[in-house]
């Protein structure tokens, strides 16, 4: 990685591509449209055509291609979701399907592919590029913020702010009635949303999939806060089988406290809505960064953010990694709730 955060030295004599492709894959995230917009408009300045594939990798296999230009992305920066649509494609996990996708790209004379998506999409992109030789550049977009090689992924800030707005409202009712609320947030295999929401929302406890927990310890903590005179309690729980979800936590608290612990499941409301300013800015910078990487002749890369700078990280380095959660943040939640 050079001093500008680039994973490879630019090839000075590398020919400029004439046509590239872009798709959005996996779970949608607020800011995906802003990233597409940045890619299309940055490419137009460089004289590069952009072909969009609808419905992610499935559309790449089915050849759901359409040209994109400045008019295609007009009035898109503030919209949530992805106008190119997305899907999860089990078929793309097979070499045969990836070979068909490569032939479709070749038929359209496409010289590079940009994938806007999460961890699973990145793994698929790395396999596709390694097998076919197609240069693939991944723009990390996931509300879970679990993608290695970048400090933040597109959509995380919006999801956290959406959940925080809900928790602020829940806290009003919890205080008025002196109640316990157990709030389930998204993050089946990743606790980044739960930790951020717990810290930002002043929760008394948080449960995440990466770190073992004891329901007895959670009950002890809530019971102790009540003995110290706290009028309201919020417990944040990541969804999914690794935590068991919010229901067992609420049942345990109800049995221990002798009062019903209320349950709120935020669900997919965290995925939707207009992206925050932070996500729009990040998506725009990453989209432009992807085009710069292509123009520089860089190899297959993740376009990430490292301490505020847009960087390139080789896909081969990040596709086999997982982004760790800092366990000290759990203790910080507990410290600040006393």
Task: Output the domain CATH number for residue 184.
Answer: 3.40.50.460
Please tell me whether residues 136 and 176 are part of one structural domain: no
Measured CA to CA, the distance from residue 267 to residue 260 in angstroms comes to 22
The closest alpha carbon to 116, from 283, 272, 311, belongs to: 283
The closest alpha carbon to 186, from 144, 224, 220, 230, belongs to: 144
Helices and strands: H and E segment counts in the chain:
11, 11
DSSP type of residue 324:
P
Domain end (from 240, 271, 302): 271
Please tell me whether residues 90 and 184 are part of one structural domain: no
The closest alpha carbon to 301, from 3, 26, 5, belongs to: 5
Contact in structure between 94 and 57 (CB atoms under 8 Å): no
Please tell me whether residues 289 and 150 are part of one structural domain: yes
Does residue 118 lie in a domain region?
Answer: yes
Residue-wise DSSP of 147-161 = -TT-S--BTHHHHHH
Measured CA to CA, the distance from residue 283 to residue 145 in angstroms comes to 14
Does residue 259 lie in a domain region?
Answer: yes
Measured CA to CA, the distance from residue 224 to residue 213 in angstroms comes to 17
Residue with the two structure tokens 């965290």: 270
168 part of the active site: no
Please tell me whether residues 279 and 150 are part of one structural domain: yes
Please tell me whether residues 147 and 31 are part of one structural domain: yes
Please tell me whether residues 263 and 210 are part of one structural domain: yes
Contact in structure between 313 and 7 (CB atoms under 8 Å): yes
- Residue 260 token pair: 């019903």
Below-50 pLDDT ranges, the chain: 1-5, 7-12
Please tell me whether residues 282 and 183 are part of one structural domain: no
Angle at 30 between CA 206 and CA 102, to 5 degrees: 115
Please tell me whether residues 129 and 209 are part of one structural domain: no
Measured CA to CA, the distance from residue 306 to residue 60 in angstroms comes to 30
Is pTM beyond 0.85? Reply is yes
Q: Could you tell me how far CA 44 lies from the centroid of its own chain? A: 27
Please tell me whether residues 163 and 253 are part of one structural domain: yes
The domain spanning residue 122 has which CATH number? 3.40.50.450
Please tell me whether residues 111 and 55 are part of one structural domain: yes
Contact in structure between 56 and 148 (CB atoms under 8 Å): no
Q: Which residues does residue 154 pair with via DSSP β-bridges, in sequence order?
A: 141
Does residue 230 lie in a domain region?
Answer: yes
Does residue 180 lie in a domain region?
Answer: yes
Q: Report the pLDDT value the prediction gives residue 229, as an integer from 0 to 100.
A: 80
Measured CA to CA, the distance from residue 163 to residue 191 in angstroms comes to 14
Please tell me whether residues 190 and 244 are part of one structural domain: yes
CA dihedral of residues 304, 306, 311, 313 (deg, nearest 10): -70
The CA-based diameter of the chain, rounded to the nearest angstrom, is 73
Does residue 122 lie in a domain region?
Answer: yes
Q: Report the pLDDT value the prediction gives residue 3, as an integer from 0 to 100.
A: 38
Residue pLDDT, tens place only, 263-290: 999 999 999 999 999 999 999 999 999 9
- Residue 55 token pair: 């419905």
Residue pLDDT, tens place only, 23-48: 999 999 999 999 999 999 999 999 99
Residue with the two structure tokens 């004891």: 214
Domain count, the chain: 2
Q: Report the pLDDT value the prediction gives residue 253, as an integer from 0 to 100.
A: 94
Catalytic residue among 2, 69, 144, 306: 144
DSSP type of residue 260:
P
Does residue 329 lie in a domain region?
Answer: no
Does residue 82 lie in a domain region?
Answer: yes
The closest alpha carbon to 57, from 32, 93, 28, belongs to: 93
Domain end (from 212, 246, 271): 271
Structural domain boundaries, residue 111: 19-155+275-318
Does residue 133 lie in a domain region?
Answer: yes
Sign of the Cα pseudo-torsion (1, 19, 93, 133, in order): negative
Please tell me whether residues 138 and 281 are part of one structural domain: yes
């Amino acid at each position: 990685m050079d001093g500008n955060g680039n994973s490879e030295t630019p090839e000075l004599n590398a020919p400029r591509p004439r046509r590239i492709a872009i798709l959005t894959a996996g779970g949608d995230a607020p800011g995906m449209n802003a990233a597409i917009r940045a890619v299309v408009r940055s490419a137009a300045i460089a004289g590069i055509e952009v072909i969009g594939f609808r419905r992610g990798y499935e559309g790449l296999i089915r050849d759901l291609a359409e040209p994109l230009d400045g008019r295609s992305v007009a009035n898109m920066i503030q919209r949530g979701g992805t106008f190119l649509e997305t899907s999860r494609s089990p078929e793309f996990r097979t070499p045969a399907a990836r070979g068909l996708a490569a032939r479709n790209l070749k038929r359209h004379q496409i010289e590079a592919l940009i994938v806007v998506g999460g961890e699973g999409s990145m793994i698929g992109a790395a396999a596709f590029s390694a097998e076919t030789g197609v240069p693939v550049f991944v723009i990390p977009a996931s509300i879970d913020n679990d993608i290695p090689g970048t400090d933040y992924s597109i959509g995380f800030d919006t999801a956290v702010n959406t959940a925080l707005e809900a928790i602020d409202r829940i806290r009003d009712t919890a205080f008025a009635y002196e109640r316990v609320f157990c709030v389930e947030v998204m993050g089946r295999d990743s606790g980044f949303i739960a930790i951020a929401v717990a810290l930002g929302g002043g929760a008394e406890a948080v449960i995440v999939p990466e770190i073992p927990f004891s329901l007895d310890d959670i009950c002890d903590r809530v019971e102790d806060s009540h003995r110290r005179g706290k009028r309201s309690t919020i417990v944040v729980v990541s969804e999914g089988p690794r935590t068991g979800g919010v229901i067992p936590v609420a049942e345990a608290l109800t049995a221990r406290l002798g009062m019903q612990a209320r349950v709120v499941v935020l669900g997919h409301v965290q995925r939707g809505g207009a992206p925050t300013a932070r996500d729009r800015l990040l998506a725009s910078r990453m989209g432009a960064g992807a085009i710069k990487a292509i123009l520089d002749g860089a190899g297959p890369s993740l376009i990430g953010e490292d301490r505020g700078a847009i960087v390139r990280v080789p896909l081969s380095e990040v596709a086999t990694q997982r982004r760790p959660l800092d366990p000290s943040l759990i203790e910080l939640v507990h410290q600040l709730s006393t």
